[in-house]
Structure 1
């Protein structure tokens, strides 16, 4: 009898109590206040600041709980930083575009990039066929499409480098203007944490630059920016290999015979890996790294895939199976002018699988005649 009466009294007491009174206890009151402050802080941030905050929290969570790097963590961080930077710089890009000097500057930049891309594509066609790209307009356009990822990579890298150069001056300017109350001169009145956001943006843009460099090295796109870009890329790789070899020799000369285990660990960290290395005393930790020879192999493979795709396009779509000029069975023809043709034959002994020859046009109009024949492959 005592237990049912106690149960009924407790039920009546809770039925008379309001639901909001459950959060009036000293323990829950502080928690509720903290949650309300966090909610107000979150709503006071704009979209870019929220992206930077989430990226920072994810990075701290990965550093505290995950020992090995997880790919989806890196992808999420990259997407958050890209979203924040795009939401901040796109309105400024539109503002510059709608002004006459800004539009002229942007068009000049794209004209320079387009000129280099056209020259690079013409060189790609000429390297494969041995004739001018003017005779193969469709293949020239396809080569431009193939080189677009490389030029997109180079322009993105250039923009990030400009941000890294300009951001320290911008931070210094904010510090100088802050005592006068003008630190938020280029921002809306409700924009909060101007200097902190600029500092976080600078750090994450540098991390994005490193991530873009490693992505270009991993895919081989970093070497696809024309002959000039490939030359610079090959020179950088050669310098990295030489520097790595000098470090290995120096470590071997300075190490004693009894320090074989320590020397092996140091050589393993300095065996030609390109990336970020953190050295603490005699311990070296690689944050992101890739062997230099692997970078070179990926760049060569990417360039070979480009040439193979372009050679296939030339044979299947640019060249004609039938022509007024005589040609071998199974070959395809591109008429260069009224007197010369480019004959393309499948040949597995060639790097791209095709051989190219410039022959005289033998047709009903010209008949048999002696003309020059040039073997390009």
Structure 2
């Protein structure tokens, strides 16, 4: 009995060694982006956010050389210039609207504060919209490939988007699935958080009354999704308030004047709107963003009370 057992153990050991060597060979044959795609698929049941992070990182690594190729061509520069000019225009409008909300007057009266707000919004907008554009590109890539196959003469004008590495089909499939998951979760995270909050409040009320329902698997998944949306919504509100606090503090400490031709309080600063009106700024902890803005009549030697 001993000899067959030893032979079986040896056979199992050889099989395990062969499997390990095969996996090592497979793993080392993958590029860095392909390894990240593989890990992203493996961790998806555990952490959606980790899957999204790994997917975006792999996309950046994989498409950065192609981005440089696009940038060094004249049509590519035109496309990128149009894309980022559009983003910049939206950032300008968003910054002006935010400054108006914080100060209560037109953003043109707070030029430096408006520029500061642009600097706060621009990096995040460019990064987020670039990632979204990269994800959407992967979702429409199969249509692009189909277009090239149907219209071969146009291939010379296209950019090489197919993989030159091993296993291009599997890589494209994994990329498409992961990009679909990431895009879907991004859209879910930007959904209607108020409705999700109301639903969670109603559910909590039913629990407090002792009417705890027996949830099915689908109901449990829906509840967890709503909890996820409420959490992300609270984080977005916190980030938005922080930006507005920074804008208000910048307007008070750096742009507003300590002295003015118009009469003002001793503990305030002033920004002149025109010859007849001023905005007086006060430090006030009870104000929404720590600074109170008041539009007042300019009382001066030329315009006495």
Question: Which TM-score tier does this pair reach, normalised by the shorter chain?
Answer: 0.7 to 0.9
Query: Could you tell me whether the CA contact under 8 Å between 1:157 and 1:212 is conserved in 2?
Result: no
Query: Could you tell me whether the CA contact under 8 Å between 2:139 and 2:176 is conserved in 1?
Result: no
The equivalent residue for 1:199 is 173
Indicate the SS of the match to 1:325: coil
| 1:98 equivalent in alignment to 2:72 | yes
Given the two structures, how large is their TM-score scaled by the length of structure 2?
0.73
Aligned counterpart for 1:356 among listed residues 271, 287, 294: 294
The equivalent residue for 1:48 is 33
Indicate the SS of the match to 1:345: strand
Query: Could you tell me whether the CA contact under 8 Å between 1:171 and 1:198 is conserved in 2?
Result: no
Q: CA deviation at 1:157?
A: 6.0
The equivalent residue for 2:225 is 289
* TM-superposition CA deviations, 1:231-265 (whole Å, max 9, x none): xx6xx4567689x69xx9xxxxxxxxxxx97x823
Q: Which has the higher contact order (CA 8 A, sep 6+)?
A: 2
The equivalent residue for 1:133 is 107
Shift in CA distance, 154/51, structure 1 to aligned 2, threshold 3 Å: closer
CA distance in 2, matches of 1:57, 1:154: 25
**Superposition pairs for residues 1-377 of structure 1, below 5 Å?**
28-59=13-44, 69=46, 76-148=50-122, 151-152=125-126, 154-156=128-130, 158-159=132-133, 162-163=136-137, 165-169=139-143, 186-187=161-162, 189=164, 191-213=165-187, 217=189, 222=190, 236-237=192-193, 264-266=213-215, 279=218, 284-286=220-222, 289-291=225-227, 297-353=234-290, 354-360=292-298, 362-363=300-301, 366=302, 368-369=303-304
Query: Could you tell me whether the CA contact under 8 Å between 1:344 and 1:356 is conserved in 2?
Result: yes
Structure 1 gaps, min length 5? 1-24, 64-68, 177-184, 223-232, 249-259, 270-277, 371-377
Structure 2 gaps, min length 5? 1-9, 151-159, 204-209
Indicate the SS of the match to 2:225: strand
Q: CA deviation at 1:56?
A: 2.8
* TM-superposition CA deviations, 1:272-296 (whole Å, max 9, x none): xxxxxx63xxx65359523466665
Number of residue equivalences: 279
Shift in CA distance, 294/208, structure 1 to aligned 2, threshold 3 Å: closer
Q: CA deviation at 1:347?
A: 3.9
Shift in CA distance, 287/149, structure 1 to aligned 2, threshold 3 Å: farther
Shift in CA distance, 193/341, structure 1 to aligned 2, threshold 3 Å: same
CA distance in 1, matches of 2:14, 2:239: 61
* TM-superposition CA deviations, 1:192-238 (whole Å, max 9, x none): 21111111111112232345456xx4xxxx5xxxxxxxxxx6xx456
Query: Could you tell me whether the CA contact under 8 Å between 1:321 and 1:333 is conserved in 2?
Result: yes
CA distance in 2, matches of 1:99, 1:201: 26
Shift in CA distance, 125/27, structure 1 to aligned 2, threshold 3 Å: closer
Structure 1 residues 26-35 or 166-175, which shifts more? Answer: 166-175
Structure whose alpha-carbon radius of gyration is higher: 1
Indicate the SS of the match to 1:357: strand
Given the two structures, how large is their TM-score scaled by the length of structure 1?
0.61
CA distance in 2, matches of 1:307, 1:188: 45
CA distance in 2, matches of 1:298, 1:167: 33
CA distance in 1, matches of 2:102, 2:91: 17
Query: Could you tell me whether the CA contact under 8 Å between 1:333 and 1:344 is conserved in 2?
Result: yes
Q: CA deviation at 1:175?
A: 10
CA distance in 2, matches of 1:202, 1:195: 11
